[in-house]
Structure 1
């Protein structure tokens, strides 16, 4: 059942809500707009708040659903395995030739099912950094790096700390282009509509 939990989580994570929303509801291929990323930030910047919100809800929701299904199939171990694989699916979607998003929204879905306390603190960190800096990407990077530390602070089991480290590394890696733009001063701030 562990293998089934991993497989279903990967497939569910691969569902590209940003691409599907923009393509079939707004008639736009989001992979050819802005940064080409399928995440909520790029969808919002290029299509507006409603498609951006739909994308975010879908990406958070699939993270939650994958963990829930994993728990039904194989208990806590299944939920933990699903947490890893739903994020991998979102980052490397089988439906988009193994391209995908930056995993932040899906990570929040995983965190909601793991620990509400951790989720609230990590979200607060993301929101605070984003509002102060006006960089969505910087908020995402900082909140991602904080995940294992917040999990440790709240006393989560070691297996979840490993999950937190994995999420932190993945978020950092998936934002490598944003990091380059932040360093060069060319990253878009909130309100601009180019790179996501």
Structure 2
């Protein structure tokens, strides 16, 4: 059942909502615009807030759906394996030649399903960081780092904390280009034009 949950979750994660919505609304390949990413942030910057918010909610929904599926097919271990599956699907979608998003929205959906308190803390970290630095990417990375810390404070158990650590590492890895641009001073800042 665990393997089935992982495979189905990977396929769920592979559904490229950002790509599909950009095709539907504007007839464009979102990968050829802005940062080239299929996630909510690039859709927001390229198509506007309404499509961006729609992609955010849909990508979060993938994370929630995967955890719920894993929970139905098994216990805590299965739901966490399903969570990893959906994150891998979003990041390396089979439907887009394995070129996907940065897992932040889908990861938020996963954490929401696993621990609503943890996702609220992560949201607060994101809002504070973006409010001070105006870097969405930095806010996303720090929010991801807050996940295992909050899970540890909540004493959620070793498996969940380990998952949180993997999520944070995964998020930082996917943001390598953003880290370089932050260090170079060329990273997009909220309110400073359109560039990721």
Which structure would you say has the larger RCO, counting Cα contacts within 8 Å and 6 or more residues apart? 1
Alignment partner, residue 84 of structure 2: 84
Contact preservation (8 Å) 2:87, 2:107? yes
CA contact (8 A) 2:77 2:159 kept: no
Q: Which runs of 4+ in 1 moved over 4 A?
A: none
CA distance in 2, matches of 1:195, 1:94: 27
Alignment of 1:26-175 (within 5 A): 26-175=26-175
Whether the 8 Å contact between 2:144 and 2:171 is mirrored in structure 1 is: yes
- In structure 2, what is the Cα distance between the partners aligned to 1:74 and 1:68? 10
- Please tell me whether residue 20 in structure 1 is matched to residue 20 in structure 2: yes
Secondary structure of the residue aligned to 1:25 is helix
Deviation of 1:145 (Å): 1.5
Tell me: CA distance 1:193–1:41, structure 2 relative to 1, closer, same or farther (3 Å): farther
The aligned counterpart of 2:10 is 10
Asked if 2 retains the 8 angstrom alpha-carbon contact of 1:46 and 1:193, the reply is no
CA contact (8 A) 1:45 1:192 kept: no
Question: What TM-score do the two structures reach when normalised by structure 2?
Answer: 0.97
Shift of 1:37: 0.2
* Residues in 2 aligned to 1:98 and 1:176: alpha-carbon distance in whole angstroms: 17
2-structure distance, mates of 1:83, 1:53: 22
CA distance in 1, matches of 2:11, 2:163: 19
Task: Provide the C-alpha distance between the structure 1 equivalents of 2:167 and 2:76, rounded to a whole number of angstroms.
Answer: 18
Shift of 1:127: 1.0
Residue 136 of structure 1 and its aligned partner are, at CA, apart by 0.3
Cα deviations by residue, 1:110-130 (Å, 9 ceiling, x for unpaired) = 001111111111111011101
TM-superposed CA distance for 1:80, in Å, is: 1.2
Change (3 A) 1:192 1:13: farther
Q: Post-superposition shift, 1:155?
A: 0.6
Compute the RMSD of aligned alpha carbons. 1.0
